[in-house]
Chains A and B, each alone.
Chain A
Amino acid sequence: MIFNEEFETMPREALEAIQLRRLQATVARVYNTVPFYRRRFDEARVTPGDIRTLADLHKLPFTYKTDLRDNYPYGMFAVPMDNVTRIHASSGTTGKPTVVGYTTRDIQTWSELMARSLVAAGTRKDDIVHNAYGYGLFTGGLGVHYGAEKLGASVIPISGGNTKRQVMIMKDFGPTVLTCTPSYALHVAEVAEEMGVSFPDLKFKAGIFGAEPWSERMRQEIERKLNLKAMDIYGLSEVMGPGVAVECIEAQNGLHIFEDHFIPEIIHPKTGEALPYGMTGELVFTTITKEAFPVIRYRTRDLSVLHPEPCRCGRTIVRMGRIQGRSDDMLIIRGVNVFPSQIESVIMETRKFEPHYQLVVERVANLDQLTVWVEVNESMFSDAIKNLQSVERELEKNIRETLGVTTVVKLVEPKSIQRSEGKAVRVIDKRNI
Chain B
Amino acid sequence: MNVEQISIFLENKPGRLEEVTRIFEGGGINIRALSLADTTEFGILRLIVNDNEKAKRLLKEKCYTVGINEVVAVEVEDRPGGLYRILIALSKENINVEYMYAFVRQSGQNAVLIFRFDNIQAATAVLKREGVRVIDGTELYAM
Task: Give the B-binding residues of A (Cβ under 8 A).
Answer: 376-378, 381-385, 388-389, 410-416
Given contacts A378-B67, A381-B67, contact A410 B9 (CB under 8 A): no
Which residues of B have CB within 8 Å of A384? 44, 98-99, 116
Choose one: A383, A410, A411, A413; the contact of B7 (CB below 8 Å): A383
B65 within 8 Å of A by Cβ? yes
Contact A414 B67 (CB under 8 A): no
Q: Report the nearest B residue to A384, measured CB to CB.
A: B98
Contact B39 A415 (CB under 8 A): no
B142 within 8 Å of A by Cβ? no
Contact B37 A414 (CB under 8 A): no
Which residues of A have CB within 8 Å of B124? none
Q: Which of B23-78 contact A (CB under 8 A)?
A: 37, 39, 41-42, 44, 46, 63-67, 69
Interface of B is mostly: strand
Choose one: A378, A385, A413; the contact of B10 (CB below 8 Å): A413
Choose one: A385, A412, A415; the contact of B44 (CB below 8 Å): A385
User: Which among A378, A382, A383, A416 has the highest number of chain B CB atoms within 10 Å?
Assistant: A383
A-B interface, 5 closest residue pairs, ranked by CB to CB distance from nearest: A383-B7, A415-B63, A414-B63, A381-B65, A376-B9
Question: From residue A400, how far is it (CB to closest CB) to chain B in Å?
Answer: 19
Choose one: B9, B37, B98; the contact of A413 (CB below 8 Å): B9
- Cα A415 to Cα B5 in complex, Å, equals 24
Which residues of B have CB within 8 Å of A381? 7, 9, 65-67
Choose one: B7, B39, B65; the contact of A414 (CB below 8 Å): B65
Given contacts A383-B67, A383-B69, contact A411 B98 (CB under 8 A): no
Report the interface size for chain B: residues with CB under 8 A from the other chain: 21
Which residues of B have CB within 8 Å of A378? 65-67
Which residues of B have CB within 8 Å of A389? 39
Contact A383 B41 (CB under 8 A): no
Which residues of B have CB within 8 Å of A377? 65
Question: From residue B34, how far is it (CB to closest CB) to chain A in Å?
Answer: 12
Task: Give the A-binding residues of B (Cβ under 8 A).
Answer: 5, 7, 9-11, 16, 37, 39, 41-42, 44, 46, 63-67, 69, 98-99, 116
- Cα A382 to Cα B39 in complex, Å, equals 14
Contact B11 A412 (CB under 8 A): yes
Given contacts A383-B116, A384-B116, contact A414 B64 (CB under 8 A): yes
- Cα A389 to Cα B41 in complex, Å, equals 10
Q: Report the nearest B residue to A380, measured CB to CB.
A: B65
Which residues of B have CB within 8 Å of A414? 63-65
- Cα A381 to Cα B7 in complex, Å, equals 9
Question: From residue B12, how far is it (CB to closest CB) to chain A in Å?
Answer: 10
Given contacts A381-B9, A384-B98, contact A413 B65 (CB under 8 A): yes
- Cα A410 to Cα B11 in complex, Å, equals 10
Contact B42 A388 (CB under 8 A): yes
Q: Report the nearest B residue to A411, measured CB to CB.
A: B42
Instruction: List 8 other contacts, CB 8 Å, given A383-B44, A413-B63.
Output: A381-B9, A382-B44, A383-B7, A383-B46, A383-B67, A410-B41, A413-B9, A414-B64
User: Which among B9, B44, B66 has the highest number of chain A CB atoms within 10 Å?
Assistant: B9
- Cα A383 to Cα B10 in complex, Å, equals 11
Q: Report the nearest B residue to A385, measured CB to CB.
A: B37
Q: Report the nearest A residue to B11, measured CB to CB.
A: A413
- Cα A422 to Cα B104 in complex, Å, equals 52
Which residues of B have CB within 8 Å of A413? 9-11, 16, 63-65
User: Which among B16, B44, B116 has the highest number of chain A CB atoms within 10 Å?
Assistant: B44
Which residues of A have CB within 8 Å of B42? 376, 388, 411-412
Which residues of A have CB within 8 Å of B41? 410-411
Given contacts A376-B9, A411-B9, contact A382 B67 (CB under 8 A): yes
Query: Can you report 5 A-B residue pairs in the complex whose CB atoms are below 8 A from each other?
Result: A382-B44, A382-B67, A383-B44, A383-B69, A410-B41
Question: From residue B11, how far is it (CB to closest CB) to chain A in Å?
Answer: 5
Which residues of A have CB within 8 Å of B64? 413-414
Which residues of A have CB within 8 Å of B11? 412-413, 416
- Cα A388 to Cα B10 in complex, Å, equals 12
Question: From residue A415, how far is it (CB to closest CB) to chain B in Å?
Answer: 5
Q: Report the nearest B residue to A414, measured CB to CB.
A: B63
- Cα A378 to Cα B67 in complex, Å, equals 7
Question: From residue B127, how far is it (CB to closest CB) to chain A in Å?
Answer: 20
Question: From residue A418, how far is it (CB to closest CB) to chain B in Å?
Answer: 14
Which residues of A have CB within 8 Å of B9? 376, 381, 388, 411, 413
Which residues of A have CB within 8 Å of B69? 383
- Cα A381 to Cα B66 in complex, Å, equals 8
Which residues of A have CB within 8 Å of B46? 383
Which residues of A have CB within 8 Å of B65? 376-378, 381, 413-414
Which residues of A have CB within 8 Å of B16? 413
User: Which among A376, A382, A413 has the highest number of chain B CB atoms within 10 Å?
Assistant: A413
Q: Report the nearest B residue to A375, measured CB to CB.
A: B65
Question: From residue A187, how far is it (CB to closest CB) to chain B in Å?
Answer: 25
Which residues of B have CB within 8 Å of A382? 7, 44, 67
Which residues of A have CB within 8 Å of B5? 383
- Cα A384 to Cα B37 in complex, Å, equals 8
Question: From residue A389, how far is it (CB to closest CB) to chain B in Å?
Answer: 7
